[in-house]
Amino acid sequence: MTRYSHTVLFIAFTLTLLSHAQANPLPLWSDHMPGPVTDQPEQIDTKAEKNNRWVTHTSNPTLTLYLLENETPSPLVIVCPGGGYRFLSIDKEGIEIAEWLNQIGLSAAVLTYRTPHNREGALLDANQAISICRQQAREWNINPEQIGMIGFSAGAHLTAAAAQNTPRQNFSILVYPAYLNQADSTRLTTDIAITKETPPAFITQAQDDKRYYRSALAYSLALEQANIPFELHFYTRGGHGYGLRDLGKPAHQWTTPCEAWLREQQILPAE
Choice between 119 and 1, residue whose per-residue pLDDT is larger: 119
Whether residue 12 has pLDDT greater than 90:
no
Residue 213 CB-half CA count within 13 A: 14
Is 0.75 topped by the overall pTM? Answer: yes
Share of the chain above pLDDT 70, in %: 92
Over residues 139-151, the pLDDT tens digits come to 999 999 999 999 9
* pLDDT attached to residue 3: 39
Q: What is the CA radius of gyration of the chain?
A: 17
Whether residue 1 has pLDDT greater than 70:
no
Cα distance between residue 264 and residue 168, in whole Å: 21
Whether residue 6 has pLDDT greater than 90:
no
Q: What is the DSSP track for 56-114?
A: ES--S-EEEEE----SSPEEEEEEE--STTTSEETIIIIIHHHHHHHHHT-EEEEEE--
Q: Quick one: average pLDDT of 154-181?
A: 97
- Least confident range from 18-22, 101-105, 128-132, 212-216: namely 18-22
Q: Where are the domains of the chain?
A: 3-27+49-264
* pLDDT attached to residue 36: 97
The answer to whether 69 and 37 are in contact (CB under 8 A) is no
Q: Which CATH class is domain 3-27+49-264?
A: alpha beta
Q: Quick one: average pLDDT of 62-75?
A: 96
* pLDDT attached to residue 23: 61
Q: Which of 36, 26, 91 is nearest to 65 (CA)?
A: 26
Over residues 188-243, the pLDDT tens digits come to 999 999 999 999 999 999 999 999 999 999 999 999 999 999 999 999 999 999 99
Cα distance between residue 233 and residue 190, in whole Å: 24
The answer to whether 213 and 242 are in contact (CB under 8 A) is no
Whether residue 69 has pLDDT greater than 60:
yes
The residue type of 217 is L
Residue 144: phi and psi, rounded to 5, are: -65, -15
* pLDDT attached to residue 271: 76
* pLDDT attached to residue 22: 62
Cα distance between residue 245 and residue 54, in whole Å: 17
* pLDDT attached to residue 31: 86
Q: What is the DSSP track for 116-139?
A: SS-HHHHHHHHHHHHHHHHHTHHH
Cα distance between residue 220 and residue 34, in whole Å: 32
* pLDDT attached to residue 13: 35
Cα distance between residue 162 and residue 209, in whole Å: 24
Choice between 31 and 16, residue whose per-residue pLDDT is larger: 31
Q: Which of 61, 70, 154 is nearest to 110 (CA)?
A: 61
Per-residue confidence band for 40, with pLDDT thresholds at 50, 70 and 90: very high
**Phi/psi-derived region of residue 241, left when phi > 0, alpha when psi is between -120 and 50, beta in every other case:** left
Q: Name the DSSP class of 167.
A: S
Whether residue 14 has pLDDT greater than 50:
no
- Burial of 51-68, coded b for 16+ CB within 10 Å and e otherwise, reads ebbbbbbbbebbbbbbbb
* pLDDT attached to residue 24: 82
Per-residue confidence band for 178, with pLDDT thresholds at 50, 70 and 90: very high
